[in-house]
Amino acid sequence: MLQERHYRFSPFVGSIVFALLIGACGGSPDSTGGSGGAGTTGGAGSTGAGGTTGGAGTTGNAGTTGSAGSIGTTGGAGNGGTTGGAGNGGTTGAAGTMGAAGTTGTAGRGGTTGAAGTTGTAGRGGTTGSAGTTGAAGRGGSSGTTGGAGTTGAAGTGGAGRGGTTGTGGVAGTGGGSAGRGGTTGAGGSSNPDGGNWDAPPLPAMVTIHIAGDSTAAIFPATDATMRVGWGAVLDPLFDSTVTVDDAALSGRSTKSYIDEGAWTTLQAKIKTGDYLFIEFGHNDEKSDDPARYTDPATTYRTNLKTFINGARARGGVPVLMTSICRRQFSGSTVTGTHGAYTTAVFAVGQETGTPVVDMETLTKNWLMMLGPTASVAMFATDDNTHTNMQGAVAIAKLAVTGIRALGLPLAARALP
């Protein structure tokens, strides 16, 4: 039995003795405090007869990466394989490779999302002069040549292009190309509550609103048998004395016949810098059985609308598109008289050319539904569901002003409360 205990105890004693010898040779723990000393600790690893521990010691060298290796010297105090245990801690150092996880930092690419910041181009209208920094100047894109604020323009991809004449937004053209249209508007983009800016020049002391349209906006003689009154005929009193309304809308015309008959040539010649042109057609363009007036909403109708827009801008005017007003057609309490593809075409042309759009169809549809099929009769001419009387015309003219205000156009500042 004694012999057996002696046999079991001897390795332990031997280890202690060996450790003491190493301690005596290695000097005090303080002398190993240096990081170099820590290396000797690695040597201590080799002392671990269990060379495997020594191997861990080399890990300890890796530990030097974490100077924590010096802490391993503290392990020296452990006098024994415990130090090797610290070596295992060194494997923790391998966890340091987790630092590589730091590469996740590459997530910094998210920073590129910052590039998305270009969306800032929402700054449409920034074209307002050098303010193009507003970025949105992009809408003025078509004036892309104007360069300047262009940098913002890059943001211009946002299409702030409207009013491009403030050329600065031009560079924006790089992003939005078509945005360029509207060049005339350059100077003072006014803010649009819908999230963008419409570039429109500052209003001159006196400004004229020209109306190109059909009978729904036209002037009728006071002797008209059914007492028809177009909304354009009663628009003037809704603005202050610095604004004059030139109602050039003509009964029975479509965009095609208005141009073909020379009415547009006459009207265009009257437009001055800073004047506005309201464009509202559709009712007669829909008449497919009349080749003199019919236009295809996917092709010729859009082409004609662009003729008005480009012609107005060529004269320094500000074009404003308007969808057609609703006919008084009910199914129960719901208005069904809408203009379908023609309304879609107006919005498409507005988007393509950077031209503001007043959605008269929606405004008048909501108005009619509020009145209902019975009360709404009093707003229209006798036995007529398309043309309004005086009361209805005034109501719709007020809706047009509401639309102008919603767009944030400078003209809205001249509207009476």
Q: Map out the domains of the chain as residue ranges.
A: 2-92, 121-198, 207-414
Q: What's the CATH code, domain 207-414?
A: 3.40.50.1110
Quick one: 146 exposed, middle or buried, by C-beta within 10 A (0-12, 13-18, 19+)? Answer: buried
What pLDDT, on the 0 to 100 scale, is given for residue 200?
76
Nearest one of 23, 391, 207 to 32, comparing CA atoms: 23
Asked if residues 302 and 348 have their Cβ atoms less than 8 Å apart, the reply is: yes
The pLDDT averaged over each successive group of 10 residues in the chain (417 residues) is 40 41 37 34 36 36 37 36 37 35 35 35 35 34 35 33 35 34 34 47 94 98 96 98 98 98 98 98 97 98 98 97 96 90 98 98 97 97 97 98 97 97
pLDDT at site 9: 40
276-280 and 207-213 as β-strands: parallel, antiparallel, unpaired?
parallel
- pTM score, whole prediction: 0.56
Cα–Cα distance, 153 to 158 (Å, whole number)? 9
For position 198, what pLDDT does the model report?
Answer: 62
What pLDDT is attached to residue 135?
A: 34
Position 80 scores a pLDDT of 36
